[in-house]
Amino acid sequence: MPTLTIDNQQVTVEDGTTVLEAAEQLGIVIPHFCYHKALGAVGACRMCAVTVHEGTFKGLKMSCLIKVEEGMVVTTDDAKSVVFRERVSEWLMLNHPHDCPVCDEGGECQLQEMTIASGHGVRRYEGQKRTYNNQQLGPFIAQEMNRCIQCYRCVRTYKDYCGGKDFGVMGSRNRVFFGRFKDGPLESDFSGNIVDACPTGVFTDKTFRFKSRFWDLQEAPSICPHCSLGCSTVPAGRYGELQRVRSSVNEKVNGFFICDRGRFGSSYANHPERPRQASRGQWKLTRDEALVQLDSKVRELIRQHGPEAVLLLGSNRASLETNWMLQRWAEKIGCRAPLLSAHLPRHLAAQVAAFDLADRLASLEKIRQSDLVVLLGVDPLAEAPMLAVALRQAVKKGGQVLAYDPRSIELPCVFEQQSMSPLQLLELLDQDKSPESGRLLDLLKKAESPVLVPGGDLLGAGGLLRVQKLAVVASNQTRSCLVHPVLAGPNSFGCGLLSLPEQDDLLTQLESGRIKMLVCVETDPLLEAPNGERFAKALSRLEELAVLDYLPTLISAHTKLFIPTSAPVEAAGTFVNNEGRQQLFVPVMEPRLPIAVTGSGSHPPREFLPEAPGSDPRPAWQLLQQLLGEEVELAQLRERMKTAVPRLIDFDKLQPGGVFCRVSDADERSCYADEISAQPAGSLQLVVSPARYGSDLLSRFSEKLKPRFTDACLQLHPQDAAERGLDDGMKVALKTDCGEYYLTLRCVEGVATGCAVVENGPAFPQLVPGGKLGFCQVAAGGRHD
Amino acid sequence: MAQEEKIDSIGLLDENELAYFVAHANELEHPREMVIDVLRAIQKNHGWVPDEGVELTATILRLEPIEVEEVATFYDKIFRRPVGRYPIHVCDSICCWSNGGQELAEQFKQQLGIEFGQTTEDGLFTLLPSCCLGVCGCAPAVMIHQQHYGPLSREDVGELINRLRREASA
C-alpha cells in the first residue's frame, strides 16, 4: 500500500492504482477522456497530464498510465501541466464544431466541461475543419461524427466490452471514423451504451433527441425493472413523460453498463392507453371512492362467503413494500394469505433461490471474476442480458463458459454449447444418469471460482434444487461453488422471500369456484401466467375483480374495479434481485399525463387546476396503507417490514444508487416435490423461451422497443423437422396442453433434438415461459390467414 | 453449424486465387493475418476494392466486414474508390521534400492537368500524395503499382507519363 503526495495531500492507496485513480480518492478530478473505469486507460487523449516530481519516471506524465509508487510526489496544478492540458484541449477542439447550443449533448458533455475546466476559451485555429458524412444507425442511436475527438471509448465499449460485432473504427490519422461497414441498425443488444460512453455528442439517444436539456430533466437513482438482475439505472423524466434511461454504476451488479431492453424499454410509463383514473366499468371514481368500494366489497364477501372467498394476488413487478403490505392487509381483513405470483412454477423457483440457494449466491461481479461459469438452461440475452456481458468479461480474463440448453444460444464471447433437452438437463443435474455429469463435476471441482447459472424458467424449482446439490458436491473446504439463479422478474426473489412455504396455484383456486373476488396488484394473470385462456374463463366467473396496476393490460377487459398505481419510476420501493440484493429505488417524477398528450403536440390547455391531469396514481403500498388505515412515512413502514421479515437488511444501511447488500441467509425450505410426467409417444418437449424484447410486460408496452420485436416462429432441429416431413418456412400446427397454435417453422441446428422452441413475445403471447415441463405435437398444416 | 457453402468470388478473384485463400484460411489459427493479401489480390484484378470485395474478403477469412474495412481504410495503398490505371504516389516526406518533392508534385499536376486525389479523364492516372516510400536514396521519388521511380527531374516526369500512355495504348 504505497503512500504518495498529490498536490501536497498525502494518500495511501492499493498497489497497482494509477495516479489518476489515487487523485480521485483525494477528490482531485484530473481531466480525462479516454480513461474509463470499466474500459481502462489507453493514454490516447493526453488530457490527464500531471507532473511527477519524485518517482521512477519524472516529468510530465499521463496520470492514467502511471502506477503509484511509495514516496511519489505529483502535482496536477503546476504551470507546466496546466498549460499542457490547455493545449491538448485546444487541439481536441480544432475540428470540433462550436455549436453547443444546438447539440443534443450540451449540458452533459464531458468535452464541454473539460474544455472549460482546462481554461481553453479562445480559438486560434482558423483553418478548415474536418467533416464527415454521418451514418444511419437505426432507431436508437444518432451519429454526428463531426463532434468526434477520437477517444475510442465507443468502440471499446461496443466491441471490446460488450462484444458487438458490427461496429468499428475505420480510416487513419485525422480521418478516423467510428461506425458500421454500411448504414443500418446497430445489431448489438447493448448498443445504447455508446451514448453513455461517448464524452461528446457523436452518439446520442435518438429516442430522446431534442426533447430536453439535461438540466431540465428530473433524475433519480433507480433499479431496472425489466429482468431479475436489477441493474442500476438513472431514468429521466420531464413534463410527466419518462424520456430516457441511462446506466448507473453498481460494481457488484451491472458494472457501468445496461442493456438496450432496459434503456429503451422505458416508455411503458407513457403508454397512451395507460389507465390513470380509478373506475368501475364506465364510471370514473376518485381514488378515495375506489378504495372505499374495494374495502367494503372485500368485507362484504368475506362476511357472506367466509375468508376463502377473497384472494389477493401480488406480483414480481410490485415492490417488496407492496407485497408485504398486501400480506398485512390480508391479515387485517381476515382472508387467506395472498399469493405473491400468478405463475406458481416461477414462484416456486424463486422460493428455492430465496431459501435453498441463499447461502451460496453469486453476484454478477463474481461471474465477471470467475474462471468457470456453467449456464444451465439460461439464454442470457433473452432472460438476463447483462449476464451475457458479465460472461464476456469472465472469458476475456481467461475464464471458460459452458452452456447446456435446448435453445440455440448466442453470446458475445467464446463459449461451449451442448444442446440438451429439458429432460436431459435434469438428468445431467441428477449426476449419475448422464455421461456428461462426470465431466461437468470434474470441471467444477478443478475450477478456482466456479459459478453455476441455472435458469429458473427452464429448470423450475426441482431443477434448482438439483443445482444446489451439485453445488454442494462441487464445493470444497477452501471455496464454495456459487450459484447465480436467473429468475423471472425484478422482484421475484423478494416475493419468494416473503412468501409462505405452501403456495397454491391461482388457477386451481379460481377454478374451484370458491373464490368470489380476486384483487390483482400490478399483475395480469392472462399475460403473466400459463393458460391465459383458462384464466380468462375463470375470471369471468368471479363476482368481483379488482385490479391495481399501471399498465393497460389484457385483464382490464374483465376488471370490475380498477385503481391506478404509479410505475416504478414514479414510486419509491425495493426490489430484491436474483442474487438476493436488496435494492432501493426512489421516484424520478410525479405521475401525471404527459404534456405531450394533454397538448396533443401543441401548447397544453390553458386551464388552471390544483392538480395536474392524470396525477391520481399512487404507489400501491400507499394505497394499501390507506386501506389499512395507517398512513406512516416510508421509512417507518420499512422499519416495520424489517422487524417482521428479519432476513432483510436494515434500510438505514442502504443508499439509493449504492451497491446495496444481500439479504441474510435462511434455512433450506425444499418444499418442492417435482413430478415429471411420462413423455407421450411421438411428442416433442416444449420449450417456451422469452423473446429478447417484449416478453416482460414493461418492454411489451414500450413503444420505443417496437423495432426490435420479432415475428413468432417455432424452432426445430432440422432432423426433427425432416422426420415430420416439414421444411423451413412452412406453416405448422403446434398442439400443446394449452391449445393449438399455428406458427412458421424455422429449422435451427443449435436446437436440441426432441425439442420444439417457441418464443413468448408481443407476436406470440399465448404461451408463457416457466411452466411445468410440457410436451407437444408438431405437424404440418396451418390456417389460411 | 451452417454447411460449408461455395464462395462466389463475383469476378474479383480467379478460381485459383480463391481456392488458395480458402485453403490457407482454414489452415491458419488467425485467418485475419491474410486480410492484406486478399485485398491486394482483389485490387490487382479489379483496380480497386469495391464493397463487395470487402465482403468477399470477410467471407473467405470468416471475419465481419467491418473488421476487413478497418484494415482496408487504414492503408492508403488499398483503394476503396475507383482509381486510374496508374495510381501515382508522390512522396511528400522529408527527404523527397528537401530534394524538390513539392516541385515534382507540381510537375505531375501540371502535366496531367489534375490535382491530388483526382483521376485524368482518360482514366489512366490518379495522383496521390504519400508518406515516405522508403526510397530516400532516390529522392524525389514516386511509386506506381509496385515500382519506384526516382530521382525524377522535370523532364523525367514527361517521359514517364508518355511511356505509360504508350504502354496503355499498346
Q: Do residues B69 and B96 both lie within one domain?
A: no
Of residues A98, A105, A101, the one with CA closest to residue A214: A105
Q: Are residues A516 and A657 in the same domain?
A: yes
Do A385 and A470 share a domain, yes or no?
A: yes
- Tell me the per-residue pLDDT of A271-326, one tens digit each, with 9 for 90 and over: 989 999 999 988 999 999 999 999 999 999 999 999 999 999 999 999 999 999 99
**Do the domain assignments include residue B104?**
yes
Residues of B with CB under 8 A from a CB of A: 1-2, 51, 54, 64-67, 69-70, 73-76
The CA distance from A733 to A783, in Å, is: 9
- DSSP, res A475: -
Q: Does B99 lie in the same domain as B164?
A: yes
In whole angstroms, what is the distance from residue B143 CA to residue A352 CA?
72
Cα–Cα distances in angstroms (integers) from residue A533 to residues A190, A527, A562, A739, B139, in the given order: 35, 10, 21, 9, 84
Query: Does a structural domain hold residue B65?
Result: yes
In b/e form, how buried is each residue of A259-296, taking b as 16+ CB within 10 angstroms? bbbbbbbbbbbbbeebbbbbbbeeeebebeebbebbbe
Q: What is the pLDDT of residue A551?
A: 94
Q: Do A660 and A654 contact (CB within 8 A), yes or no?
A: yes
Give the length of chain A. 785
Sequential DSSP letters for A566-585: --GGGS-EEEE-TT-EEEEE
Q: Which residues of A touch B1 (CB under 8 A)?
A: 749
Kindly determine whether residue A749 and residue B69, on different chains, have CB atoms separated by under 8 Å.
Answer: no
Question: Residue A696, SS3?
Answer: coil
* Contact status, residue B144 vs residue B156, Cβ threshold 8 Å: no
DSSP3 helix / strand / coil % (chain B, rounded to 5): 50, 10, 40
Whole-angstrom distance, CA of residue B137 vs CA of residue B132: 11
At residue A595, the pLDDT reads 87
Which residues lie below 8 Å from residue A27, measured CB to CB, with a gap of 6+?
Answer: none
Q: For residue A230, give the C-alpha cell.
A: 436489477
In a domain, A675, yes or no: no
Please determine, for residue A645, whether its predicted confidence score (pLDDT) is greater than 90.
Answer: yes
My answer on whether omega of the bond before B82 falls inside 30° of 0, hence cis, is no
φ/ψ region of A171 (left if φ > 0, alpha if ψ in -120 to 50, else beta) reads: left
Of A484, A514, A534, at which residue does a domain stop?
Answer: A484
Query: Do A519 and A652 have their domain in common?
Result: yes
Q: Is A669 among the domain residues?
A: no
Give residue-wise pLDDT tens across range A663-712.
Answer: 998 888 776 666 777 888 889 999 999 999 999 999 999 999 999 999 99
Which of A484, A518, A533 lies at the terminal end of a domain, its last residue? A484
Does one domain contain both A248 and A292? no
Residues B96 and B163 in one domain: yes
Residue A284 lies in a domain: yes
Q: Is residue A33 predicted with pLDDT exceeding 90? A: no
Q: Does residue A104 lie in a domain region? A: no
Contact A170 B73 (CB under 8 A): yes
Pairing of strands A278-280, A283-285: antiparallel
The answer to whether residues A545 and A655 belong to one domain is yes
Adjacent-strand bridge partners of A561: A280, A546
Query: What is the number of domains present in chain B?
Result: 2
List b or e across A563-597, with b for residues whose CB sees 16 or more CB atoms inside 10 angstroms: bbbbbbbbbbbbbbbbbbbbbbbebbbebbbbbbb
My answer on whether B63 and B90 are in the same domain is no
CB pairs under 8 A between A and B: 33
In a domain, B30, yes or no: yes
Q: Any idea what DSSP says for residue A359?
A: G
- Is A166–B76 a contact, with Cβ atoms under 8 angstroms apart? no
Which residues lie closer than 8 Å to A5 by C-beta, 6 or more apart? A11, A72, A73, A74
Which tens digit of pLDDT belongs to each residue from A635-644? 999 999 999 9
pLDDT tens by residue, B30-79: 999 999 999 999 999 999 999 999 999 999 999 999 999 999 999 999 99
Of residues B2, B67, B76, nearest to A168 (C-beta): B67
- Give me the amino acid identity at A375: L
> 435453498: which residue's cell?
A356
- Per-residue pLDDT of A532-588, as tens digits, reads 888 989 998 899 999 999 999 988 888 999 999 999 999 999 999 999 999 999 999
**Residues of A in Cβ contact (< 8 Å) with B54:** 181
Residues B97 and B61 in one domain: no
The answer to whether residue B5 sits within a structural domain is no
- Residues B31, B51, single domain; the answer is yes
Q: Compare CB distances from A169 to B65, B70, B76 and report the shortest one's residue.
A: B70
Whether A498 and A623 map to the same domain: the answer is yes
Residue-range definition of the domain harbouring residue B138 = 86-169
Q: Is residue B80 situated within a structural domain?
A: no
Same domain as B132, residue B59: no
Omega within 30 of 0 (cis) for the link into B140: yes
Q: Quick one: B54 and B128 in the same domain?
A: no
Closest alpha carbon to A336 in A460, A164, A518? A518
**pLDDT band at residue B3 using 50, 70 and 90 as cut-offs:** very low
Q: Taking the CA of residue A287 as centre, how many other CA atoms within 13 Å lie in the half-sphere pointing to its CB? A: 18
Which helix (H) or strand (E) segment holds residue A778: the answer is strand A774-780
Where residue A783 falls among pLDDT bands split at 50, 70, 90? low
The total of other beta-carbon atoms located within 10 Å of residue A298's CB is: 23
Mean pLDDT score across all residues of chain A: 93
Burial classification of residue A66, based on how many CB atoms lie within 10 Å of its CB (0-12 exposed, 13-18 middle, 19 or more buried): buried
Same domain, B19 and B40: yes
In a domain, A702, yes or no: yes
A122 part of a folded domain: no
What's the pLDDT at A679?
87
Do A242 and A300 fall into the same domain?
no
Residue B145 located in a structural domain: yes
Option in A172, A181, A749 nearest B69 (CB): A181
Asked whether residue A411 is assigned to any structural domain, the reply reads yes
**For the domain that residue A326 is a member of, what is the CATH number?**
3.40.50.740
Burial B2-12 (b: 16+ CB within 10 A, else e): eeeeeeebeeb
Determine whether the interchain pair A170/B70 forms a contact, defined as Cβ–Cβ distance below 8 Å.
yes
CATH number assigned to the domain comprising residue B40: 1.10.10
**Within a domain: B122:** yes
Q: List, for residues A114-125, the tens digit of each pLDDT value.
A: 898 888 888 899
Out of A169, A177, A181, closest to residue B65 by CB: A181
Q: Looking at residue A671, what is its pLDDT? A: 67
State the nearest Cα–Cα gap between A47 and chain B, in angstroms.
25
C-alpha A431/C-alpha A575 separation (Å) is 34
Whether B1 is covered by a domain: the verdict is no
Of A166, A170, A749, the CB nearest to B64: A166
- State the residue for C-alpha cell 405448422: A732
Q: Tell me the per-residue pLDDT of A416-446, one tens digit each, with 9 for 90 and over.
A: 999 999 999 999 998 777 889 999 999 999 9
- Closest residue in chain A to residue B2, using alpha carbons only: A749
Residues A334 and A421 both lie in one domain: no
Do A629 and A695 lie in one domain? The reply is no
A527: cell is: 399475460
Name every chain B residue with its beta carbon within 8 A of the beta carbon of A171: 73-74
Indicate the number of domains in chain A. Answer: 5
Bridge partner residues of A241 (DSSP) = A238
Spell out which residues of chain A touch residue B75, defining contact as CB-CB under 8 Å: 172
Q: Which residues of B touch A182 (CB under 8 A)?
A: 51, 65
The rounded distance, in Å, linking the Cα atoms of B60 and A559 is 60
Determine the residue among A152, A155, A181, A410 to mutate to test chain B binding: the one whose Cβ has the most chain B Cβ atoms within 10 Å. A181
Kindly tell me if the per-residue pLDDT of B123 is higher than 70: yes
Residue in chain A lying closest to B66 (CA): A181
CATH code of B154's domain: 3.40.30.10
Q: Within this chain, do residues B95 and B164 fall inside the same structural domain, yes or no?
A: yes
Same domain, A693 and A650: no
Residue B1: the pLDDT is: 36
Beta bridge partners of A404: A376, A418
Q: What percent of chain A has pLDDT over 90?
A: 81
CATH code (residue A752): 2.40.40.20
Q: End of a domain among A270, A288, A308?
A: A270
Task: Report pLDDT for B162.
Answer: 95
C-alpha distances (whole Å) from A694 to each of A63, A111, A121, A379, A697 are: 45, 36, 48, 15, 7
CA atoms within 13 A on the CB side of A207: 24
Q: What mean pLDDT comes out for the span A385-407?
A: 97
| Distances from the Cα of B120 to the Cα of A692, B43, B47, B104, B167, angstroms | 53, 19, 15, 18, 16
pTM for the predicted model, two decimal places: 0.94
Backbone Cα Rg of chain B: 18
B1:A172 CB<8 A: no
**Is the confidence at residue A778, as pLDDT, over 60?**
yes
Q: In terms of domains, do A514 and A637 share one? A: yes
The whole-number pLDDT of residue A393 equals: 97
Please count the residues of chain B: 170
**CA pair distance B104, B150, nearest whole angstrom:** 11
Domain range holding A50?
3-92
B164 and B92, same domain (yes or no): yes
- Looking at B74, B97, B125, the residue that finishes a domain is B74
ipTM of the complex: 0.91
Strands A310-313 and A517-521: parallel
Task: State the sign of the Cα–Cα–Cα–Cα dihedral A48, A49, A51, A55.
Answer: positive
Greatest alpha-carbon pair distance for chain A in Å reads 87
Last residue of a domain, one of B25, B49, B74: B74
Q: Using DSSP, state whether A450 is helix, strand or coil.
A: strand
Average pLDDT for A601-623: 89
Regarding predicted confidence, which is higher, A783 or A342?
A342
Same domain (yes/no): A148, A243:
yes
DSSP code for A45: S
pLDDT (0 to 100) of residue B2: 41
The lowest-confidence range among A153-162, A305-314, A400-409, A524-533 is A524-533
Q: Give the residue from A165, A211, A208 showing the smallest Cα distance to A188.
A: A165
Asked if residue A97 is part of any domain, the answer here is no
